[in-house]
A and B are shown apart, each in its own frame.
Chain A
């Protein structure tokens, strides 16, 4: 059954790769592939039994060995979900009429990306894993640079490629060392080999680059912002999760060092806090969403780190809960980030700009996008009764239970406080994003004549919103799904259901959702019945309010960016009004990607300078080369002479 489904999916996607030039057929094949993949993942997740296939076929001298257990099935669900929805969205968002050259290419690479991510999840041979990983990285590169006429996009693509390969280098080392240590390229549980534990650090770096954990996230903002929106969605919602998958997978299969839990927890805290602070400071809506991905990966890593700690110290009670929350957050983040990037894409589609300081008042022309984006924003801020709260709540429970137990868990206290601060900052960042883009008065001409998009894009946004609501109202089903993954991660924790009152939270959410809906309807009716008078915004009696007087994104975030100036290092250009015939005033503020622009680029420049300096040694003058040889031989001779003494 699973073999048939996966075979169908793979075949459909291979065909779809080849048939990128035929939009309708491609969409049909892609949807078929996604549905078949979802079917196989659902079978594994509900049945709880894994699937394995060892074929006689060899590739690179190794037998093809494919497995699908619950953990890979969870991530396969993400791949197929966004693979299908994104294809639907792309058919309207990136059509042949507007992009005759890049649209067919984009479709082929899209299917290639989905297929290769599926392979990453199913390959149980280190060598093939690396092949699939490379194919995934490359097809993502070609998708990011789809719009390659713009230099900004080419730069983003190059940065992605460089960062991705830096990570892959660590992975090459990891898999080779693993194969050398075990004696085979086959991957699988090796929990009884404590000597392999240090390899975890290699895996953490290698997968961490892809997962976008701070401070290895440098490629993420520009790549997500420059790519077409459906590509941003799959990159942020799924591709980044491949890195998370790697960390979860190998921390489950291999023994980990003692400090791994603390390290992952610490990195998670740093990613969560810095990610959301950077997000808050952005004025580009897609960069904001990209940084928010860093934050959410941080939250996922906090849960995972706690699970590793629990495994190390033998506390299944809270480790189990934290891991369940973490894995559910993987799923949840995929849903709301897809929705939000699709929403940002519709805004971009309609107005031609991602710059929030030129948007505003879009709810009037794009009510669907505004409402769905608001739902996504509430979910990503972890507000009940939506899905984001459910997973954050589970992670919090793990943390609080660890705290309640006291003992060696003192380090968990700061994590709880950081998580709380992160949640409040996320609320601020998303209140800013949705309010500046959709509410108030239009800030520029761009948003004046925007129009709502068509059926395909709307459907692609409604589906994740609906699933989000389901997770919020019926978390039990989804916790069961995650339960199977935990069994795959540590068999010892398998039997018990996560010891948290999932039913109670589902009930509370349902009651809350009913009350909220009722209150909204009653309020609207009451107000309509009482008569609505429309008038200009009062604004303390200011006589001529204009759109330029509104709070901008930058001013909204000003307080928080002020607190974190040490990390953000905003660049300001201010031209004040002065003199009798002043030039027009100007105030520009840009928040750079600090780690990249203040850390890595100067370091790289230093290396280049040193290399340049070294190059002057090579000038083509033969007699000086002979001098080098002479000096070298003399030096060696001295050494030998010294040694002889």
Chain B
């Protein structure tokens, strides 16, 4: 019974808190640009409004156009539920759950690409192609980071995988995961969630033709994914499990907040990357994950 309560609580926390992260990022960006910016809760208002709206669907689209965002949203939420939080662990934990997490994100990606291709738009097709191609590099980076954790902890379950890494490895891995976070969550320098009319778009272009409740699911799912990556990054490099529960939850929250601020700063201070450089930066992200893996492997020898 308590396990079910635990899951429901986590679900509620993810659903309710996640839209804050983009709000914080936008606030930081506004602050750097000396603007007032939208309120931190803006995404909540947007979601509420979108949920009540009707839908415009392309004449070419099948029912899959509506189903795909729903499936993607469930997949992202499922992935978030697998992630243990701070010292509290997770009620759903088994060997190899980390792979389920990665593949749930892949399921979400498949559905988003599917939804994009439904419209027959060249622009969205381009986005889908870029998404699935760059995801190869991102996924390779993520699995390398996971390998580092596996080697360090000797465990293949998320709940016991986040063993503290030695300083240099942790720092390298943090940079690598941060780059992957930016790429996977359509942030500058890879992509820009605020514009819709640029030929360097990746993720954002795939949702151009969505509207109403499906768009709400996409936006909400994106915020959950962002928070998921931030939490993953924080737990990978911070020894949270060693702190008492309350402290570790507080540190985790602070770390997610700091990640959001960092994303906002990066978005304010850098320009979007020339398109042909995207694979290069992703490869650099992968290398930042690979070196800690080698360091960790060699550590004991």
Contacts and interface: CB of A to CB of B under 8 A. Distances in A.
Interface of A: 360-361, 363-364, 367, 370, 374, 378, 381-384, 389, 393, 396-397, 400-401, 403-406, 410, 413, 416-417, 420-421, 423-425, 427-428, 430-432, 434-436, 439-441, 500-501, 504-505, 508, 512, 515-516, 519-520, 522-524, 526-527, 530-540, 545, 547, 549-551, 555-560, 563
A397 B117 CA distance: 33
Nearest to A386: B107
B297 interface: yes
Nearest to A397: B96
A420 B138 CA distance: 10
A382 B103 CA distance: 8
Interface of B: 52-60, 62-64, 66-67, 69-71, 73-75, 78, 92, 94-97, 99-100, 102-104, 106-107, 109-110, 113-114, 117-126, 128-130, 132-136, 138-140, 142-144, 147, 150-151, 153-156, 196-197, 208-209, 212-214, 217, 279, 293, 297, 300
B72 to A, nearest CB: 9
A501 B213 CA distance: 37
Contact of A416 (B53, B78, B147): B147
Given A384-B107, A404-B154, A424 B117 contact: no
Given A361-B60, A396-B96, A505-B94, A420 B140 contact: yes
Contacts of A563: 279
A404 B156 contact: yes
Contact of B118 (A403, A439, A532): A439
B55 A527 contact: yes
B121 A428 contact: no
B56 A535 contact: yes
A536 B58 contact: yes
Contacts of A534: 56-59
Contacts of B140: 417, 420-421, 424
Given A539-B121, A545-B120, A556-B129, A423 B139 contact: yes
B106 A423 contact: yes
Contact of A427 (B74, B75, B106, B297): B106
Given A434-B114, A533-B56, A550 B122 contact: yes
Contact of A421 (B139, B150, B208): B139
A520 B67 contact: yes
Contacts, number: 253
Contact of A551 (B70, B75, B122): B122
Given A406-B300, A527-B66, A439 B120 contact: yes
Contacts of A425: 136
A320 to B, nearest CB: 13
Given A428-B136, A520-B70, A558-B129, A532 B55 contact: yes
Given A374-B114, A410-B297, A559-B130, A440 B147 contact: no
A430 B106 CA distance: 12
Given A403-B147, A515-B74, A523 B132 contact: no
B190 to A, nearest CB: 14
Contacts of A549: 122
A381 B74 CA distance: 18
B165 to A, nearest CB: 15
Given A397-B96, A501-B95, A515-B78, A560 B300 contact: no
Contacts of B110: 378, 381, 383, 427, 430-431
Given A519-B73, A530-B212, A427 B120 contact: no
B135 A537 contact: no
Contacts of A500: 95-96
B59 A535 contact: yes
Contacts of B293: 413
A393 B60 contact: no
Nearest to B208: A538
A306 to B, nearest CB: 14
A644 B261 CA distance: 92
A537 B100 contact: no
Given A519-B74, A527-B213, A550-B125, A533 B150 contact: no
Given A533-B54, A555-B126, 11 more contacts: A363-B64, A384-B104, A397-B95, A405-B154, A428-B133, A432-B129, A530-B54, A536-B58, A549-B122, A551-B126, A556-B125
24 contacts: A361-B60, A363-B64, A397-B96, A400-B147, A404-B150, A406-B297, A435-B114, A440-B60, A500-B96, A501-B96, A508-B92, A508-B94, A512-B78, A512-B104, A515-B74, A520-B70, A523-B66, A524-B67, A527-B214, A534-B57, A535-B57, A540-B121, A540-B123, A551-B126
